[in-house]
């Protein structure tokens, strides 16, 4: 006992030295308060410090302390947060409960970010951002978020994680860190059979789950997955988990669906019972290749996870070439790049293309009631709103209830892409002696047409004998049969290129082009929209950037000469198959998104005149699809016409955005017009990597092309060779 005082004094001196050195951390409750005040998740802090989430949990509970470099880094974080979020003094007479300051109901806190484990009061923008971008068959209570959110957490998610990570997050050296602290691990992960979840930028998370329910709860509580909203009035994207075959089987799912028509897990399957027992729900689409599992939203707090099951053909080979057979890390790279450049996949590329429109142009925004001063949900200008809109009679189709029950007999709009072949009788001897037929394909022609495209936003209004206005979007009944074009060119007014025989319905761009060619137009009737806007502009801009950036990753950049461009395009798919798949998916997103605007009824049990799901959403807008295709077809004809004027060359065939020309050589350089300076002549087809410019589609012999034409086939459909059918439109 005689040496006890020196030992005690030494301990006190060590403690004082630790205080002086700054190695004593704030109390555990204060650590929690600081992190939550900043809106940071445990996963975000763990990722920044290079430790596991359970380590952060232990530090905040006082069960353990960091050491070495992590101690210094954690102290620096807490000091920085303390400077930004100083603790509020406890009012006199109140006894401290020992809880973190942020959990005391009477003390105000900083507004917190939307995370997977924290519920907060909404900002005006968040509270009334309208329905989240979800499939049209989701229940109303999931789609419509209440205007006022309750602060208490659902008991199901408030009690903390039940499944803990066993190993720290792994990250490729030099990989960039996610910029949104709420989603430190990116938008998605690909789960393999041994519990490794591969994310973007080389991240590997430990996911020790054995059931679908555990997977959903791990994703929401621990994964740190998700993506920030694309518009201030929109919604964050739900996390996506992609299941490999091994992972699906491990979690109790069949390797192959028995229901090959409906592509749904059969009723009574054990996995469905597990989901129901845990009080999770599925959308009306059931448990298919793209399954959404959710609980009713609490305010803006969405409790939803999307699954994509690879062995069930979640990724269509046409849109995602070769991806299903890739290793999990490569699948994550492909889907992660797409999610970061376009949107977190929500289903097929067509569905994602449509969802992107809504994500960039949310239907509602917060507006202040002038009488009460309260924030209420209001229409977001420039969007399509929240309610479906009946088409004008000529814009729909015979099956649409509004058309079917009205007895409409006035004809329909028929704005479609070109499918035209020149008559072999119009081929000249000089053309027939040329050795080659060369196909040119316009890059994402529909996307180029969507740029700065004014479309209608309000209900169609009927007019008799209106004066044509090229700036007013709508449908016009007009006779264009008097407009003459060279018979070696397709008519600009019909998809098959034949000359109109009398009055017909046309979209504004088609009629405006007749006027541009110098012909008089006198509409008999019109359905026009008074409110207009460039609805597709943000959609165009985001997809254009994604397309150009992905091509650049494949070595096809804007600064290349035409010779270099053709060489780069010839090898770009081999340069990086993963990024080539991203490029294919972007192109499919453009085509599919436009197509979804006019989705037809499906199913053998459909009866004419009955409503169908697609037409009951605000984005069912056949008039907008017609506007895009009309402009794309007019753009194509304008180039064809200019080429004939500049070079005297006429096409053999056109299929959507592909045109075939007779050529003296195997390269487009052998017939495209160039000035004496070597620069491409404006107005015709030009080579390049941006939307609307052209690339080589394929080369065949002229004899091959003429033979197909004589048989009534379209050479543009097969110009790639190997009897490969052209994807009609991007």
Q: How far apart are CA 635 and CA 658, in angstroms?
A: 12
Q: How far, in Å, are 169, 227, 411, 594 from residue 185 at the CA level?
A: 9, 9, 53, 31
Which of helix, strand or coil describes residue 296?
Answer: strand
Q: Which residues pair with 456 in a beta bridge?
A: 532
Q: How far apart are CA 263 and CA 434, in angstroms?
A: 51
pLDDT of residue 260: 74
Task: Quickly state the pLDDT bin for 22 (edges 50, 70, 90).
Answer: low
With beta carbons less than 8 A apart as the criterion, state whether 237 and 340 touch: no
Q: Global pTM?
A: 0.77
Q: Where are the alpha helices (DSSP H) in 188-230?
A: 212-221
Q: How far, in Å, are 233, 531, 596, 623, 637 from residue 455 at the CA level?
A: 22, 9, 16, 8, 21
DSSP 320-371: STTTTTS-HHHHHHHHHHHHHHT----SSHHHHHHHHHHHHS-SEEEEE-TT
pLDDT digits (tens, 9 = 90+) for 666-715: 999 999 999 988 899 999 999 999 999 999 999 999 999 999 999 999 99
DSSP 544-572: HHHHHHHHHHTT--TT--HHHHHHHHHHH
Percent over 70 (pLDDT), the chain: 83
Task: Quickly state the pLDDT bin for 102 (edges 50, 70, 90).
Answer: very low
Q: How far apart are CA 296 and CA 717, in angstroms?
A: 48
Bigger pLDDT: 375 vs 112: 375
pLDDT digits (tens, 9 = 90+) for 646-674: 999 999 999 999 999 999 999 999 999 99
Q: Which residues pair with 700 in a beta bridge?
A: 437
Burial 463-473 (b: 16+ CB within 10 A, else e): eeebebeeebb
Q: Terminal CA-to-CA distance of the chain, rounded, Å?
A: 87
With beta carbons less than 8 A apart as the criterion, state whether 41 and 184 touch: yes
Here the contacts of 701-707 (C-beta below 8 Å, separation 24 or greater) are 701/435, 701/436, 701/437, 702/431, 702/432, 702/434, 702/435, 702/436, 702/437, 702/662, 704/437, 705/437, 705/652, 705/653, 705/660, 705/662, 706/424, 706/427, 706/432
What value does the mean pLDDT take over residues 434-446?
Answer: 97
Which of helix, strand or coil describes residue 242?
Answer: strand
Burial 536-568 (b: 16+ CB within 10 A, else e): bbbbbebbbebbbebbebbbbeeebebeebbeb
DSSP 9: H
pLDDT of residue 138: 45
With beta carbons less than 8 A apart as the criterion, state whether 291 and 314 touch: no
Q: How far apart are CA 339 and CA 158, in angstroms?
A: 29
Q: How far apart are CA 307 and CA 292, in angstroms?
A: 6
Task: Quickly state the pLDDT bin for 369 (edges 50, 70, 90).
Answer: confident
- The CATH number that domain 16-90 falls under is 1.10.260
Which of helix, strand or coil describes residue 21?
Answer: helix
Q: How far apart are CA 725 and CA 658, in angstroms?
A: 12
What value does the mean pLDDT take over residues 296-305?
Answer: 80
pLDDT digits (tens, 9 = 90+) for 500-558: 999 999 999 999 999 999 999 999 999 999 999 999 999 999 999 999 999 999 999 99
Q: How far apart are CA 315 and CA 211, in angstroms?
A: 23
Ranges of each domain in the chain: 16-90, 121-365
pLDDT of residue 179: 65
Q: How many helices (H) and strands (E) does the chain have?
A: 23, 20
With beta carbons less than 8 A apart as the criterion, state whether 544 and 491 touch: no
With beta carbons less than 8 A apart as the criterion, state whether 417 and 629 touch: yes
Q: How far apart are CA 289 and CA 311, in angstroms?
A: 8
pLDDT digits (tens, 9 = 90+) for 181-192: 889 999 999 999
Q: Which two tokens stand for residue 188?
A: 């998605």
Which of helix, strand or coil describes residue 532?
Answer: strand
Q: Which of 14-23, 99-108, 168-177, 289-298 has the lowest mean pLDDT?
A: 99-108
Residues 6+ away with beta carbon under 8 Å from 234:
129, 132, 133, 359, 360, 362
pLDDT digits (tens, 9 = 90+) for 219-274: 999 999 999 999 999 999 999 999 999 999 999 999 998 877 778 999 899 999 99
Q: What is the mean pLDDT of the chain?
A: 85
pLDDT of residue 155: 34
């Amino acid at each position: 006992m005689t040496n006890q005082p020196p030992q005690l004094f030494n301990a006190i001196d060590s403690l004082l030295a630790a205080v002086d050195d700054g190695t004593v951390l704030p109390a555990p409750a204060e650590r929690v308060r600081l992190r939550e005040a900043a809106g940071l998740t445990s996963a975000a802090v763990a990722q920044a410090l290079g430790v596991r989430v359970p380590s952060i949990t232990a530090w905040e509970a006082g069960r353990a302390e960091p050491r070495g470099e992590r101690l210094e880094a954690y102290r620096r974080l807490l000091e920085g947060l303390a400077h930004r979020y100083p603790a509020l003094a406890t009012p006199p007479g109140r006894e401290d409960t020992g809880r973190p300051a942020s959990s005391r109901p009477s003390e105000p806190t900083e507004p917190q970010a939307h995370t997977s484990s924290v519920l907060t009061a909404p900002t005006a923008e968040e509270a009334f951002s309208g329905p989240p971008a979800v499939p049209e068959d989701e229940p109303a209570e999931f789609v419509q978020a209440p205007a006022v959110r309750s602060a208490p957490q659902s008991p199901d998610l408030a009690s903390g994680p039940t499944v803990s990570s066993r190993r720290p997050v792994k990250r490729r050296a030099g990989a960039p860190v996610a910029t949104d602290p709420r989603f430190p691990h990116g938008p998605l992960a690909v789960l393999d059979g041994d519990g490794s979840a591969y994310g973007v930028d080389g991240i590997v998370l430990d996911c020790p789950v054995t059931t679908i329910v555990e997977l959903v709860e791990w994703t929401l509580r621990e994964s740190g997955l998700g993506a920030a909203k694309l518009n201030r009035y929109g919604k964050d994207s739900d996390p996506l988990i992609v299941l490999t075959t091994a992972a699906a089987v491990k979690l109790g799912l069949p390797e192959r669906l028995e229901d090959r028509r409906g592509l749904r897990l059969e009723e009574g399957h054990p996995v469905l019972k597990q989901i129901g027992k845990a009080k999770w729900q599925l959308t009306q689409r059931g448990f298919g290749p793209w399954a959404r599992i959710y609980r009713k939203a609490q305010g803006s707090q969405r409790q939803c996870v999307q699954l994509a099951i690879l062995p069930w053909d979640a990724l269509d080979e046409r849109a995602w070439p070769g991806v299903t057979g890739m290793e999990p890390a490569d699948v994550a790279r492909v889907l992660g790049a797409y999610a970061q450049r376009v949107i977190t996949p929500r289903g097929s590329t067509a569905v994602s293309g449509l969802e992107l429109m809504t994500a960039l142009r949310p239907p509602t925004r917060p507006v202040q009631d002038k009488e009460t001063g309260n924030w209420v949900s209001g229409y977001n200008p420039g969007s399509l709103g929240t309610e479906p809109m009946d088409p004008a009679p000529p814009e729909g189709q015979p099956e649409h209830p509004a058309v079917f029950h009205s007895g409409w007999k006035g004809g329909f709009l028929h704005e479609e892409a070109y499918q035209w072949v020149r008559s072999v009788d119009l081929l000249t001897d000089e053309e027939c002696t040329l050795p080659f037929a060369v196909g040119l394909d316009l890059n994402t022609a529909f996307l180029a047409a969507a740029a700065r495209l004014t479309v209608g936003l309000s209900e169609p209004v009927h007019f008799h004998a209106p004066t044509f206005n090229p700036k007013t979007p709508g449908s016009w009944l007009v006779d264009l049969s008097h407009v003459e074009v060279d018979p070696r060119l397709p008519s600009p007014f019909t998809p098959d290129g034949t000359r109109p025989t009398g009055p017909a319905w046309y979209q504004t761009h088609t009629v405006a082009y007749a006027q541009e060619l110098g012909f008089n137009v006198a509409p008999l009737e019109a359905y026009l929209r008074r409110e207009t806007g460039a609805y597709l502009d943000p959609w165009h801009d985001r997809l254009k950037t994604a397309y150009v950036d992905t091509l650049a990753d494949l070595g096809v950049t804007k600064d290349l000469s035409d010779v270099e461009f053709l060489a780069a395009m010839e090898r770009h798919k081999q340069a990086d198959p993963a990024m080539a798949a991203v490029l294919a998916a972007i192109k499919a997103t453009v085509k599919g998104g436009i197509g979804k605007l006019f989705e037809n009824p499906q199913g053998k049990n459909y009866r004419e005149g009955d409503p169908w799901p697609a037409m009951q959403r605000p984005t069912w807008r056949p008039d907008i699809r017609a506007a895009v295709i009309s402009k794309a077809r007019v753009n194509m004809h304008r180039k064809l016409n200019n080429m004939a004027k500049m070079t005297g060359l006429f096409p053999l065939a056109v299929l959507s955005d592909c045109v075939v020309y007779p050529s003296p050589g195997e390269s487009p350089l052998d017939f495209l017009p160039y000035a004496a300076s070597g620069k491409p002549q404006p107005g015709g087809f030009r080579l390049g990597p941006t939307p609307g410019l052209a690339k080589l589609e394929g080369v065949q012999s002229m004899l091959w092309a003429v033979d197909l034409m004589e048989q009534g086939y379209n050479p543009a459909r097969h110009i790639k060779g190997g009897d490969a059918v052209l994807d009609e439109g991007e």
